[in-house]
Amino acid sequence: MRELRAEGLVKAYRERRRIPGRPRLGGTGADYLVLKDINLHLKGGEFTCILGPSGCGKSTLLRILAGFDRPTSGRVLIDGEPVRGPSPRHIFVFQEDGLFPWMTARENVAVGARFIPDPAERERRIREYLDLVGLEGFEEHYPHQLSGGMRRRAEVARALITNPEILFMDEPFGALDFVTRLQMREEMVNVHLMFETTLLFITHDIDEALHLGDRIVVLSDRPAEVKANISLPFPHPRDLGSGELADLRREIYFLMGLHAAL
């Protein structure tokens, strides 16, 4: 199922010095509140985009959902089981390049495949996943010999080959140029249709979320609260310029206080 629930998540970081403008949590006078009572229910197999303004706490939320950080209060349940730490079945793709620079594209993907016991089957799967993300011909290239888009593709292949129950992606295409970013969006849609992995994808790009998500969770400014939780039962490819999607796009711009940008 790979269903994920977040119940009453609060995260406050301990403040070592007073920073003007930062709200403090009542009582202690020494905490910096980032998440405020986040409740979520994400169904297995859904592609959920978490959208919010810069610095609102998106990465903090994702780290907590993936078990890399602990909430101050509240809990996360995956298929009804409390999350107590990271799991090899829940894979995280970071904002920054995460490939090992001393390994080729093939060797990086092989890291994800190390649990496949049969060497011939392992090699077959590595080739299959490199082809799937369009890296055939670049298998023996090191990360510095690949373009930004290719490096991201290798990371996606390395994550997918583990057959993850949940894939957590923290603004994975943020550093790419506009055209490569659009290509990667299309590829993510295809990958999701093919594997039906439960996917949590952080972005601050409204159009990216509208193109990708089965669901969009809109967070407020810090301390982050869920402002909207919207289901998008629209087929791919999507035209954001017309119909219900255009209305939804306008609604999200308004929700995020971006009226003037429309």
Residues at the interface with ligand ATP (CB under 6 A)? 13, 34, 52, 54-60, 204, 222
Of the pair 14, 144, the CB lying nearest ligand ATP is at 14
Closer to ligand ATP by CB, 95 or 229: give it.
Answer: 95
Q: How far is the CB of 204 from ligand ATP (least distance, A)?
A: 5
Closest distance between ligand ATP and the C-beta of residue 130, in Å?
29
Q: How far is the CB of 52 from ligand ATP (least distance, A)?
A: 6
In the complex with ligand ATP, which residue's Cβ is closer, 81 or 96? 96
Burial annotation 153-164 (CB, 10 A radius, 16+ → b, else e):
bbbbbbbbbbeb
Query: Min. distance of Cβ 38 from ligand ATP in angstroms?
Result: 12
74 or 134: whose CB is closer to ligand ATP? 74
Q: Token match 């939804």: residue? A: 248
Burial (CB count <10 Å: 0-12, 13-18, 19+), residue 172: buried
Smallest gap from residue 145 Cβ to ligand ATP (A): 28
Place of tokens 């349940």: 77
When the beta carbons of 53 and 134 are compared against ligand ATP, the nearer one is 53
Q: How far is the CB of 54 from ligand ATP (least distance, A)?
A: 4
Between 58 and 181, CB nearer to ligand ATP = 58
For 28, other C-beta atoms within 10 Å of its C-beta total 10
- Write the DSSP symbol of residue 29: S
- Are 51 and 203 in contact by the 8 Å Cβ rule? The answer is yes
User: Structure tokens of 117?
Assistant: 């016991």
Residue given tokens 């790419």 in the structure block = 176
From CA 174, how far away is CA 95, in angstroms rounded?
7
H/E element, 239: none
Sign of CA dihedral 177, 179, 181, 183: negative
